[in-house]
Amino acid sequence: MLNQHKPLTADRIAPLLRGRFGRPYLWSETYTSTQDVLRDTGLPEGALAVTEHQTAGRGRAGRQWEDEPGTALLLSLLLRPPAGAEAAQLSLVCALAVAETVERTTGVGTRVKWPNDVLVEDRKLAGILLEGREQTVACGIGLNVNQDAASLARAARLPAASLRTVTGHEHDRAPLLALLLELLEARYDGWCRDGLAPLLPELERRDALRGRTVTVGDAAGVASGIAPDGRLRVRADDGTTVLVGSGEVAVGGERGPTVSD
Ligand code: BT5
């Protein structure tokens, strides 16, 4: 079996782990959702659930997350952010780590679409789902790796991409997962210490929405960057700026038709 199709079992991943993320490492060929594996377990920060296929993979607001078995990274990471931290910012922290992992592995430039998508050429490569109660957050990450165009086509309203459709070849998911965990840990530790501010230039450089016309909730206008607290700045026609904390961004702008998730 080619490496890229080998399951991400603990015996393959454990030797690649460098930090505390991925310990303990829970893997099964199939889960309903990796998010459910970590729920109410009392496991320590860094615990990770990984699978080859989800029978009920989910996105935000009850949406579905689709996968082709054995081709994606599907994982949930348990985090216990410090009291007082703004946990919603973790979606940007994770998106940045995913973007960097993809860039280092493939050399392909990525963009972050606030608040939780990683895009390549306006196509959705990865999505992030935060679910939590009190100081326990399950960060779910779905990253399309080896799907071909035909198996991605079913996925989405926003066109989807995989590393394979972008680079033209398949990728070994094991080193990709190990690098992602390493970068997640570095970004997360930095965020726990210093907050989001030091990450803003990296996010700004990859901001998929900046300068585009957006509608999110009651706000409509031009996206004007991410504020230091992680909210999206939207500048209305009358010149006022609204800060949006969460929601669905519908984009209509320079580069094509309206997309809404
Ligand atoms: C997300 O939600 O993008 C969060 C996705 C999180 C998935 C991971 S996988 C591991 C962990 N366990 C889970 O059960 N979930 C997490 P949202 O922004 O609501 O986007 C969902 C939308 O993305 C769907 O309505 C589709 O339009 C689209 N979509 C579904 N599967 C996709 C895929 N594989 N690639 C690209 N887009 C997809």
Judge if 111 and 188 occupy the same domain: yes
Binned at pLDDT 50, 70 and 90, residue 60 comes out as very high
Is the minimum distance from the CB of 70 to ligand 1 under 6 angstroms? no
Answer yes or no: is 33 within a domain.
yes
Answer yes or no: is 260 within a domain.
no
CB 130 within 8 A of CB 188: no
Query: How high is the pLDDT of residue 4?
Result: 73
Answer yes or no: is 106 within a domain.
yes
Q: Provide the CATH number for the domain around residue 215.
A: 2.30.30.100
From the alpha carbon of 60, which atom of ligand 1 is closest? Answer: 19
Is the minimum distance from the CB of 71 to ligand 1 under 6 angstroms? no
Asked if residue 28 has pLDDT above 80, the reply is yes
Q: Provide the CATH number for the domain around residue 195.
A: 3.30.930.10
Domain total of the chain: 2
Judge if 142 and 26 occupy the same domain: yes
Binned at pLDDT 50, 70 and 90, residue 255 comes out as very low
Answer yes or no: is 101 within a domain.
yes
CB 81 within 8 A of CB 135: yes
Is the minimum distance from the CB of 157 to ligand 1 under 6 angstroms? yes
Binned at pLDDT 50, 70 and 90, residue 3 comes out as confident
Judge if 187 and 232 occupy the same domain: no
Judge if 118 and 222 occupy the same domain: no
Judge if 158 and 231 occupy the same domain: no
The whole-model pTM stands at: 0.95
Please state the φ and ψ torsions of residue 240, each to the nearest 5 degrees: -80, 155
Judge if 133 and 12 occupy the same domain: yes
Binned at pLDDT 50, 70 and 90, residue 253 comes out as low
Judge if 81 and 143 occupy the same domain: yes
Domain of 192, in residue numbers: 3-203
Q: What average pLDDT does the segment 179-199 reach? A: 97
Asked if residue 192 has pLDDT above 70, the reply is yes
Ligand 1 centroid – CA 239 distance (Å)? 34
Answer yes or no: is 91 within a domain.
yes
Q: Render pLDDT for 71-120 as a digit per residue (tens, 0 to 9).
A: 999 999 999 999 999 999 999 999 999 999 999 999 999 999 999 999 99
From the alpha carbon of 117, which atom of ligand 1 is closest? Answer: 3
CB 143 within 8 A of CB 155: no
Judge if 187 and 241 occupy the same domain: no
Pairwise CA distance, residues 94 & 177, whole Å: 13
Q: What is the DSSP letter of 16?
A: G
Judge if 244 and 179 occupy the same domain: no
Answer yes or no: is 259 within a domain.
no
Is the minimum distance from the CB of 144 to ligand 1 under 6 angstroms? yes
Ligand 1 centroid – CA 143 distance (Å)? 9
Mean of per-residue pLDDT scores for the chain: 93
Pocket test for ligand 1, best of 53, 65, 143 (most atoms within 8 A of CB): 65
Judge if 177 and 219 occupy the same domain: no
Binned at pLDDT 50, 70 and 90, residue 153 comes out as low
Domain boundary among 167, 183, 203: 203
Query: How high is the pLDDT of residue 254?
Result: 45
Answer yes or no: is 46 within a domain.
yes
Asked if residue 259 has pLDDT above 60, the reply is no
With b for 16 or more beta-carbon neighbours within 10 A and e for fewer, the 66-91 pattern comes to: bbbebbbbbbbbbbbbeeebebbbbb
Question: pLDDT exceeding 70 applies to what percent of the chain?
Answer: 94
Judge if 158 and 111 occupy the same domain: yes
Is the minimum distance from the CB of 74 to ligand 1 under 6 angstroms? yes
Query: How high is the pLDDT of residue 256?
Result: 39
Answer yes or no: is 120 within a domain.
yes
Judge if 155 and 230 occupy the same domain: no
Task: Provide CB contacts within 8 A for 99, sequence distance 6+.
Answer: 110, 111, 112, 118, 206
